[in-house]
């Protein structure tokens, strides 16, 4: 995770968003230092292509700069938004869908928050998210990874793995039921570090 | 889908993008008018987004940051629309100078007022959204209370005690069920399920396969209760709680933990 290099590394996301609205480039630089590492990780994992990942990363932050005034923090935290947008854009690119499919997300879709503003919380959440996924039975983990990192639906996962559709559905449901508990507890415990 | 999704994982499956076809359309048309379920989708999106953190770490490229800041400066330069000095005649420069002296303070006041109004508007929007969500929540709770009262007070509602089975976790539970209304209420207390297991309640009809009436994972010392709508007119032969793989199964596969039949 890249450390923040700005002179005001502890400014909250909300303050930085307000400064973006006032066209403060420094605020964008701090947000980039804070979240570009996480976004890059998911982009590289999905695309496995440095150039494509860098293009999308730049686009996402440029979009943030241009639409900051429409960001509504009551509908979600900034990192959650950024991750959802990054995943949508990368999967659209991967599957050659409309590359602008995620454009409206910042203003139009609610995402409940998880908070990555503090580096301690960020580190803990990363470790807990990895453990949550690694602790799943192998078949369940594969199904979740194909859905999350490749954007495959139930039937596409079944076609890819050769498993019956019903089996894939049961595996994904079981995995999500487990992840619901572990990720909820991880987010709650990380928020206590804020 | 006019009813709420019966399983919480539906929201996660939707957020994950795994749902497709009729299942996806049904959930989308439901959340378009159900604020409670729309909030559950938002929760699921946040939760599923956390899976991104499991990706192998990558460094934020400094070169992208430089390109981004350059892109912003270029965009600002193009959008500025500044008038160059060579385009101004001396007379118009003097007029402009007088107007500038008048207009700059006015523009500054207007800018501050606009910003304050925008900020106030943002706050009011947030408060309005919170009030709407709260009203919706209260309406649902009231509706639930009405339905529970209707179920409990109906003359043809039956109560079935579920008895613990030998060598199984010992708990107590009962089911209230009304065939005509198609409503079921479960109340019970049972020890937590073993690791990687869930309990699942079934209605065993007079004919046909058992119908799942909920998957649950009790917390030690805490009772469970929920209400569920089923198709109307199903005559029950029995009710049973079985132990199933975590997340439940389409049909019972595990041992019976609690069983009861209408008298």
Cβ neighbour number for residue A180 with a 10 Å cutoff:
20
pLDDT, residue B120, reads 82
pLDDT, residue A191, reads 61
Average pLDDT over residues A155-171: 93
pLDDT, residue A98, reads 47
pLDDT, residue B160, reads 94
Average pLDDT over residues A99-118: 51
Q: Which chain B positions have a beta carbon within 8 Å of A57's beta carbon? A: 60-61, 64
Cα–Cα distance measured from residue A87 to residue A43, given in angstroms and rounded to the nearest whole number:
7
In the numeric block, which tokens belong to residue B263? 């008298």
pLDDT, residue B1, reads 47
Tell me how far CA of residue A52 lies from CA of A14, A91, B57, B192, in angstroms.
29, 11, 17, 48
pLDDT, residue B119, reads 79
Q: Which chain B positions have a beta carbon within 8 Å of A144's beta carbon? A: 16, 51
- Please answer yes or no on whether A74 and B126 come within 8 Å at the CB atom: yes
Counting one residue from A and one from B, how many pairs have CB atoms under 8 Å apart?
Answer: 194
Integer-rounded Cα Rg, in Å, for chain A is 17
In the numeric block, which tokens belong to residue B228? 């569920």
- Please answer yes or no on whether B45 and A110 come within 8 Å at the CB atom: yes
- Please answer yes or no on whether B49 and A111 come within 8 Å at the CB atom: yes
Question: DSSP string spanning B51-64?
Answer: GGGGSPP-PPPHHH
Average pLDDT over residues A84-107: 67
pLDDT, residue B89, reads 38
Site from A173, A184, A189 to mutate, B interface, most B CB atoms within 10 angstroms: A173
Cα–Cα distance measured from residue A9 to residue A18, given in angstroms and rounded to the nearest whole number:
15
Average pLDDT over residues A86-115: 63
Residue A68 per-residue DSSP state = G
φ/ψ region of B96 (left if φ > 0, alpha if ψ in -120 to 50, else beta) reads: alpha
SS3 content of chain B, % helix, strand, coil (to 5): 50, 20, 30
pLDDT, residue A193, reads 55
| Of residues A69, A111, A152, nearest to B45 (C-beta) | A111
Cα–Cα distance measured from residue B72 to residue B62, given in angstroms and rounded to the nearest whole number:
16
Question: DSSP string spanning A102-155?
Answer: TTTHHHH---------SHHHHHHHHHHHHHHHHTS-HHHHHHHHHHHHH---HH
ipTM: 0.80
What are the phi and psi torsion angles at B101 (to 5°)?
-60, -35
What are the strands of the beta sheet with B183-189, ordered from one edge?
A: B211-216, B197-205, B236-245, B256-260, B158-164, B172-178, B183-189, B224-229
Cα–Cα distance measured from residue A178 to residue B8, given in angstroms and rounded to the nearest whole number:
12
CA B46 to chain CA centroid, Å, is: 10
Cα–Cα distance measured from residue B237 to residue B138, given in angstroms and rounded to the nearest whole number:
36
In three-state secondary structure terms, B203 is: strand
Q: pLDDT-based confidence at A116, cuts 50/70/90?
A: low
Cα–Cα distance measured from residue B71 to residue A59, given in angstroms and rounded to the nearest whole number:
10
Q: pLDDT-based confidence at A74, cuts 50/70/90?
A: low
pLDDT, residue B58, reads 84
pLDDT, residue B227, reads 83
What is the number of alpha carbons within 13 Å of residue B197 lying toward its C-beta?
16
Averaged pLDDT of chain B: 83
pLDDT, residue A190, reads 61
Q: pLDDT-based confidence at A169, cuts 50/70/90?
A: very high
B258 or B80, greater pLDDT: B258
Taken as a whole, chain B contains a residue count of 263
Nearest CA in chain A to B38: A110
- Please answer yes or no on whether B67 and A58 come within 8 Å at the CB atom: yes
In the numeric block, which tokens belong to residue B35? 């604020």
A180 or B95, greater pLDDT: A180
pTM: 0.54
Q: Which chain A positions have a beta carbon within 8 Å of B212's beta carbon? A: none
Integer-rounded Cα Rg, in Å, for chain B is 31
Site from B52, B128, B217, B249 to mutate, A interface, most A CB atoms within 10 angstroms: B52
Tokens 């009729």 — which residue? B22
Residue B32 per-residue DSSP state = T
In three-state secondary structure terms, A23 is: coil
Site from B53, B128, B134 to mutate, A interface, most A CB atoms within 10 angstroms: B53
A168 or A8, greater pLDDT: A168
Average pLDDT over residues A164-180: 91
B211-216/B172-178 β-pairing = unpaired
Q: Which chain B positions have a beta carbon within 8 Å of A147's beta carbon? A: 16-18
Say yes or no to pLDDT of A159 above 50: yes
Q: pLDDT-based confidence at A189, cuts 50/70/90?
A: low
pLDDT, residue A97, reads 56
Question: What are the tens digits of pLDDT across the range B74-120?
Answer: 887 765 433 333 333 344 445 556 677 778 878 888 888 888 888 78
Say yes or no to pLDDT of A2 above 50: no
Question: What are the tens digits of pLDDT across the range B219-242?
Answer: 888 888 888 888 889 999 999 999
Cβ neighbour number for residue A15 with a 10 Å cutoff:
13
pLDDT, residue A118, reads 66
Degrees (nearest 5) of the Cα angle A94, A176, B143?
A: 115
Say yes or no to pLDDT of B216 above 80: yes
């Amino acid at each position: 995770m890249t450390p923040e290099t700005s002179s005001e590394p502890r400014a909250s996301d909300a303050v930085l968003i307000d400064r973006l609205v006032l066209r403060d480039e420094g605020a964008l630089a701090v947000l980039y230092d804070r979240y570009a590492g996480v976004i890059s990780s998911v982009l590289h994992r999905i695309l496995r292509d440095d150039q494509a990942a860098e293009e999308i990363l730049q686009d996402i932050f440029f979009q943030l700069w241009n639409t900051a005034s429409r960001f509504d923090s009551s509908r979600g935290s900034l990192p959650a938004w950024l991750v959802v947008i990054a995943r949508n854009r990368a999967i659209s690119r991967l599957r050659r869908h409309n590359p602008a499919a995620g454009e409206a997300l910042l203003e139009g879709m609610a995402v409940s928050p998880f908070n990555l503003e503090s580096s301690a919380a960020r580190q803990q959440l990363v470790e807990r998210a990895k453990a949550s996924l690694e602790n799943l039975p192998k078949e369940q983990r594969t199904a979740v990874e194909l859905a999350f990192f490749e954007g495959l639906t139930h039937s596409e996962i079944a076609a890819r793995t050769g498993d019956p559709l019903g089996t894939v559905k049961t595996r994904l449901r079981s995995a999500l039921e487990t992840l619901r508990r572990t990720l909820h507890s991880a987010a709650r415990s990380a928020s206590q570090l804020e | 889908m006019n009813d709420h999704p019966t399983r919480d994982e539906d929201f996660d499956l939707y957020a994950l993008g795994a749902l497709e076809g009729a299942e996806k359309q049904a959930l989308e048309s439901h959340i378009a008018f159900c604020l409670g379920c729309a909030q559950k989708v938002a929760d699921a999106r946040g939760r599923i987004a956390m899976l991104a953190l499991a990706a192998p770490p990558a460094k934020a490229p400094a070169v992208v940051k430089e390109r981004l800041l350059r892109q912003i400066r270029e965009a600002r330069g193009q959008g500025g629309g500044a008038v160059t000095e060579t385009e101004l005649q001396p007379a118009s420069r003097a007029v402009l100078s007088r107007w500038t002296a008048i207009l700059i303070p006015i523009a500054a006041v207007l800018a501050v007022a606009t910003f304050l109004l925008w900020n106030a508007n943002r706050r009011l929007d947030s408060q309005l959204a919170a009030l709407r969500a709260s009203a919706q929540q209260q309406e649902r709770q009231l509706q639930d209370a009405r339905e529970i009262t209707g179920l409990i007070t109906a003359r043809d509602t039956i109560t079935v005690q579920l008895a613990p089975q030998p060598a199984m976790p010992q708990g107590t539970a009962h089911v209230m069920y009304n065939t005509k209304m198609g409503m079921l209420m479960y109340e019970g207390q049972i020890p937590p399920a073993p690791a990687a297991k869930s309990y699942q309640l079934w209605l065993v009809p007079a004919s046909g396969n058992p119908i799942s009436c909920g998957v649950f994972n009790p917390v030690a010392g805490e009772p469970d209760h929920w209400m569920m709508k089923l198709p109307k007119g199903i005559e029950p032969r029995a009710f049973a709680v079985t132990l199933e793989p975590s997340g439940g199964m389409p049909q019972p596969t595990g041992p019976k933990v609690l069983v009861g039949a209408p008298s």
